[in-house]
């Protein structure tokens, strides 16, 4: 192998690794705040990517109708759980968030959709659609069982993944889609050519890592999210709405997922079920980071990307095997290093 090939592989690995880093960060974030291992993260990727791809061809993606339907269910749940103490402010808030928001989004999509819609508008619409789905997914599937064990939450998470993947097949069909690139600009450095797309990937990843670090370390809302993760009852006793914390975490995770999808879909063809595998690689990074460390997760994600690039060059049949095997030594080391702890009951 010569240096040029090695550089190409490294570049490829780092680009993919940056995407995995974004997804890994979202997983760590959601787990820290809600204790949910977010298996449907991959669906946020696919929904974001394919909604964007459909909007780019001038079609209305089915995901926006799903957002409206989920909003209705979320509204019904809000009414049901507050049935003993309904007051006007609560109902108004619920109508605004669960009905007015997705319906307005539906109207916006129908009004703006077309073959000549600017790329930026399509991206904004795709992000809003997935953000709404992420928000309602927490309200419907996880908020009612927020106090249960990690295992119960994981099972619910797997259920959500299967349901969303099935719906993805309905909305996008079995054929893959591709979308136009964000920019056609490119920079050449020696033998390497950096496309505007891959530069956007790097910039967004670094931006998100710095942004999350500032958010959690220095803002009141960020600290409140951390507090919720550390001690739920303690957080409620100082007046932090833990349901709101969960919603914010899911909102961030779904937007991060959708951004990752929109970044990948001009590079590779995505199918309705591709997201799962991509999300799983983010998950490996998150596990290597112990589901708590953001910087470790980001570094691990880059390693996963590079290993994947090299193994697809040398032994492409075993690419996935090699990548997923990475997790084994980490798990062994972690189980040796960490003392055995019983999972807390609440």
Contacting residues toward other proteins, per CB under 8 A: 84-85, 87, 220, 223-224, 226-227, 230-231, 233-241
Q: Least distance (Å) from other proteins to the CB of residue 338?
A: 16
Q: Least distance (Å) from other proteins to the CB of residue 38?
A: 21
User: Quick one: 63 or 228, whose CB is closer to other proteins?
Assistant: 228
C-alpha closest to that of 61 among 120, 161, 157, 133: 133
User: Quick one: 193 or 241, whose CB is closer to other proteins?
Assistant: 241
User: Quick one: 232 or 281, whose CB is closer to other proteins?
Assistant: 232
Tokens representing 235 are: 């957080």
User: Quick one: 106 or 224, whose CB is closer to other proteins?
Assistant: 224
C-alpha closest to that of 21 among 293, 321, 276: 293
Whether 303 and 17 have beta carbons less than 8 Å apart is answered as: yes
Distance, CA of 67 to CA of 73 (rounded, Å):
10
Q: Least distance (Å) from other proteins to the CB of residue 245?
A: 11
**From its phi and psi, is residue 290 left (phi > 0), alpha (psi between -120 and 50) or beta?**
left
Tokens representing 159 are: 């259920």
User: Quick one: 220 or 328, whose CB is closer to other proteins?
Assistant: 220
Q: Least distance (Å) from other proteins to the CB of residue 86?
A: 9
Tokens representing 71 are: 């909003």
Q: Least distance (Å) from other proteins to the CB of residue 84?
A: 7
Residue 24 buriedness (CB in 10 A; 0-12 / 13-18 / 19+): buried
């Amino acid at each position: 192998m010569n240096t040029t090939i090695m550089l190409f592989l490294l570049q490829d690995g780092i680009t993919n690794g940056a995407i995995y880093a974004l997804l890994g960060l979202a997983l760590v974030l959601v787990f820290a705040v809600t204790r949910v291992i977010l298996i449907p993260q991959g669906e946020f990727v696919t929904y974001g990517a394919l909604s964007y791809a459909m909007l780019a061809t001038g079609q209305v993606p089915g995901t926006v109708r799903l957002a409206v339907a989920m909003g209705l269910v979320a509204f019904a749940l809000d009414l049901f759980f507050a049935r003993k103490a309904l007051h006007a402010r609560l109902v108004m808030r619920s109508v605004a968030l669960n009905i007015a928001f997705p319906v307005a989004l539906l109207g916006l999509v129908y009004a703006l959709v077309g073959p000549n819609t600017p790329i930026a508008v399509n991206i904004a619409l795709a992000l809003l659609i997935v953000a709404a789905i992420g928000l309602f997914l927490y309200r419907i599937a996880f908020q009612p069982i927020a106090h249960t064990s990690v295992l119960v939450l994981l099972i619910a998470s797997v259920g959500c993944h299967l349901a969303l993947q099935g719906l993805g097949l309905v909305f996008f069909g079995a054929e893959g889609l591709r979308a136009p690139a964000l920019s056609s600009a490119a920079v050449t450095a020696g033998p390497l050519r950096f496309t505007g797309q891959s530069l956007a990937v790097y910039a967004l990843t670094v931006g998100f890592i710095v942004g999350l670090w500032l958010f959690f370390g220095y803002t009141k809302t960020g600290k409140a999210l951390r507090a919720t993760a550390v001690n739920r009852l303690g957080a409620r006793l100082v007046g932090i709405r833990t349901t709101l914390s969960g919603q914010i975490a899911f909102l961030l995770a779904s937007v991060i997922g959708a951004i990752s999808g929109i970044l990948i879909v001009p590079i590779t063809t995505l199918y309705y079920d591709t997201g799962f595998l991509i999300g799983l690689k983010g998950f490996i990074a998150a596990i290597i980071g112990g589901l708590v460390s953001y910087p470790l997760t980001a570094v691990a994600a880059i390693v996963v990307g590079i290993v994947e690039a090299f193994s697809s060059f040398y032994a492409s049949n075993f690419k996935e095997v090699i990548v997923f095997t990475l997790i084994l030594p980490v798990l062994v080391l972690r189980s040796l290093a960490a003392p055995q702890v019983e999972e807390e009951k609440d």
